[in-house]
Chains A and B, each alone.
Chain A
Amino acid sequence: MGEIVRVENLSFRYPEAAKFAVRDFELTIKGGEIVMLAGPSGCGKSTLLRTVNGLIPHMYTGEYLGSVSVGDHKVSEARMSELAQTVGLLFQNPENQIFMFSVERDIAFGLENLAVPPDEIRARVDEAMRQLGITDLAQRAPHELSDGQKQRVALAGVIVMRPRLIILDEPTSLLDPKTAVELVELVRRLRDETGITFLIVEHRLELLVRIADRLVVMSEGKKVLDGRPEEILADERAEAYGISIPPVSRLRNQLKRDGLPLENGFGPDELAEELNRQALKR
């Protein structure tokens, strides 16, 4: 698949701010990729996400240099309604992006705003609910849903717009471990079934590195590392940039430093298997 996101030499500073939140940023994302964006709090991740979906510069003004293109649109020149059909954004707290009093009405919200004919809205809402396994929640009110269900409803409201790129801003931060794992599996399934590209900001790296194709690390508004997740987690500089390396990756890195010839991987099972192999060889 071709390129879907191109960020060229992007810098952005909020009004009255002393420093640029994002500086000289370059990024390209290919269609169908799952790209993780990591970095310490305040490093500019959320600002970058908002430049990709158009909230910057359309909603937030400031000093905007460089350019961002998504699909066929140059973000600074396209209208928000055009961008809404290309880029979907799932916020950290799904509660704040559910507007309507029933699940199916909320999922339909974006399509209603684009004046899509009611019959088509019905078909697309039903399809989105089926894809996310929430058909039985159609008539429920938002306050009757669990956090995990709200997350799915909010995601259905994004997917129903049939975007080419979905941005997830710390999607697991309010979820318990089991629901978080389910969400990660859902993202993988959606990518495999629909070919949608994902750009995900997440602190809990151990959850998402398994499905990510790339891990991009930001520090002080700049891109400092970009590569396959296993390579980045094995890179000694990652921790210095404020990335919390998952314990298993940390152990793997230590064992490698101690001279064990291990390959790059993520999970405890993989590591145990490799260690067993090494022990048998010896």
Chain B
Amino acid sequence: MYWVAGGFIFRRVGSPFHSLDPRVKLLISAELFVVSLTAYSVTQLAVVMGVMLCIAAVAKILKRVGRTLVFSAGFSVFIFVINLFARQSLLTSAIYSVRFLAIIISTSLFFITTSPDELEQVMKSAHLPRDVVFAFTTAVRFIPVLMLDAIQIVDAQKSRGLEVEKGNLIKRVRKMVPVLIPLVVNSVIRSGELAEAMESRAYGAVPRPTSLNRYSSSKRDKLVAAGSLILFIITVYIYVRFPTPL
């Protein structure tokens, strides 16, 4: 499970795609999302998937995208089966399930290559309220901490005789109660200390805080953004101009 979850977590990698302005990465990801969502033929989906895998290769994240696909494969099969039950043709069901995978890749391209700090900058540049941005970044920041807490609590309860892996699904869920209660209590205590630390470091002192890092788009960022926009427009034109499956 950790192997799969690791596919979604950001890691610093030196690649041309990682070093792009996060807003440009968001633009590319959004364009790929729309193109994946509106693709209606096998050929179109194959081309979109091919482009995304090329980007993943440039960004040196092919393996991690692979993990994301492993994680999503179950859902994809589920979509395929549901569509078959809904009396869709084999081809249509396959298109729906592959489209789902394409959408997952388009979003994970952004999240795997963008640090939480950059995400914060993107949210700030979208003029989201400061509290919303801070809540988001703090939540992301504390994911590893809570994971570690959970592992320690599970180990502690196991050492006291709790057999988490035994029994049927209902029994296993019940056995998670002695893990969840201390985890929630820990988190509540932690949130109290966080609130104190925020107050002690002048959180909310001014309505418009400044930022250590200022992101400015370079010539390369602008070129990549313009290129992706042109390709996006051409793709949309093809979709509209040739509505029948290619």
- Assess whether B174 is interfacial by the CB under 8 Å rule: no
Query: Given A116-B210, A139-B12, A97–B116 Cβ distance below 8 Å?
Result: no
Would you call B117 and A95 a contact (CB within 8 A)? Answer: no
Counting CB contacts under 8 A, is A102 at the interface?
yes
Give which listed residue, B116, B144, B195, B201, contacts A113 with CB less than 8 A. B201
B213 within 8 A of A: yes
Closest-by-CB residue of A relative to B207 is: A115
Contact status B116-A125, CB under 8 Å: no
B209 at the interface (CB under 8 A from A): yes
From A11-19, A33-41, A85-93, the one touching the partner chain is A85-93
Asked whether, in the complex, the Cβ of B205 is within 8 Å of the Cβ of A117, the reply is no
B196 touches A59 (CB 8 A): yes
Answer whether residue B244 sits at the interface, using C-beta atoms and an 8 A cutoff: no
Answer whether A91 and B209 are a contact pair too, CB < 8 Å, given A101-B115, A114-B202, A118-B214.
no
Q: Write out, one digit per residue, whether chain B residues 182-201 have a CB within 8 A of any chain A CB (1) or not (0).
A: 00000000100111111111
Q: What residues of A have a CB within 8 angstroms of the CB of B115 in the complex?
A: 101-102
Contact of A80 among B193, B202, B208, B212 (CB under 8 A): B202
Residue of A nearest to B194 (CB): A96
Contact check, A112 vs B212: say whether CB atoms are below 8 A apart.
Answer: yes
Shortest distance from the beta carbon of A197 to any chain B beta carbon, whole Å: 16
Q: In the complex, what distance in Å separates the CA atom of A122 from the CA atom of B214?
A: 11
Contact of B212 with A113 in the complex, beta carbons under 8 Å: no
CA distance A110 to B202 in the complex (A): 6
Q: Main SS of chain B's interface residues?
A: helix
Interface size for B (C-beta < 8 A) is: 34
A58 touches B194 (CB 8 A): no
Tell whether A105 is near chain B: CB-to-CB under 8 Å: yes
Q: Does more than half of chain A's interface fall in helix, strand or loop, or is it mixed? A: helix
Q: Across the interface, which residues of A come within 8 angstroms of B214, CB to CB?
A: 118
Q: Please determine whether A117 and B193 come into contact, CB atoms closer than 8 angstroms.
A: no
CB nearest to A102 among chain B residues: B117
* Whole-angstrom CA separation of A33 from B138 in the bound complex: 35
Q: Complex: how many Å from CA A79 to CA B204?
A: 11
Contact of B200 among A84, A95, A115, A122 (CB under 8 A): A84
**Shortest beta-carbon distance from B193 to chain A in Å:** 4
Provide the residues of chain B in CB contact with A109, threshold 8 Å.
Answer: 201
Q: A104 an interface residue at 8 Å Cβ cutoff?
A: yes
- Option from B137, B194, B205 in Cβ contact (under 8 Å) with A100: B137
Q: B86 within 8 Å of A by Cβ?
A: no
Assembled-state Cα–Cα distance A122/B210 (Å): 11
CA distance A114 to B200 in the complex (A): 12
Whole-angstrom distance between the Cβ of B176 and the nearest chain A Cβ: 24
Docked-complex contact A101 and B140, CB < 8 angstroms: yes
Q: How far, in angstroms, from A26 to B201 measured CA to CA in the complex?
A: 27
Contact with B along A57-69 (1 / 0, CB 8 A): 0110000000000
0 or 1 for each of A155-173: is its CB under 8 Å from B? (1 = yes) = 0010001000000000000
Q: Considering the chains assembled together, what is the distance between the CA atoms of A89 and B191 in angstroms?
A: 17
Q: Is B145's beta carbon under 8 Å from chain A?
A: yes
A116: chain B residues at CB < 8 Å are 210
B204: chain A residues within 8 A (beta carbon): 81, 113
Does A104 contact B212, Cβ atoms closer than 8 Å?
A: yes
Give Cα A157 to B194, complex, Å. Answer: 14
Could you say which of B117, B141, B206 contacts A114, with CB atoms under 8 Å apart? B206
Interface centre among B144, B199, B204 (most CB of A within 10 A): B199
CA distance A91 to B201 in the complex (A): 12
Are B141's CB and A101's CB within 8 A?
Answer: yes
Task: Output the least CB separation between A111 and chain B (Å).
Answer: 8
Shortest Cβ distance from residue B203 to the other chain A in the assembled complex, whole angstroms: 5
> Which residue of B is nearest A81, CB measured?
B205
- In Å, the complex CA distance between A100 and B211 comes to 12
B148 to chain A, nearest CB (A): 8
Q: What B residues does A143 contact at CB under 8 A?
A: 144-145, 148
Distance of B194 from chain A, by nearest CB (Å):
6
Residues from chain A with Cβ under 8 Å of B137 in the complex: 99-101
14 sample A-B contacts, Cβ–Cβ < 8 Å, listed by A number: A50-B196, A80-B200, A81-B204, A84-B199, A88-B200, A91-B197, A96-B190, A97-B193, A97-B197, A97-B201, A100-B141, A113-B205, A118-B210, A121-B212
The chain A residues found within 8 Å of chain B, CB to CB, are: 50, 53-55, 58-59, 79-81, 84-85, 88-89, 91, 93, 95-102, 104-105, 108-118, 121-122, 125, 139, 142-143, 157, 161
Known: A108-B212, A110-B202, A117-B210. 4 other contacts (CB 8 A): A80-B205, A114-B209, A115-B210, A121-B212
A-B pairs, top 5 by smallest CB distance, nearest first, are: A81-B205, A97-B197, A108-B212, A143-B144, A110-B201
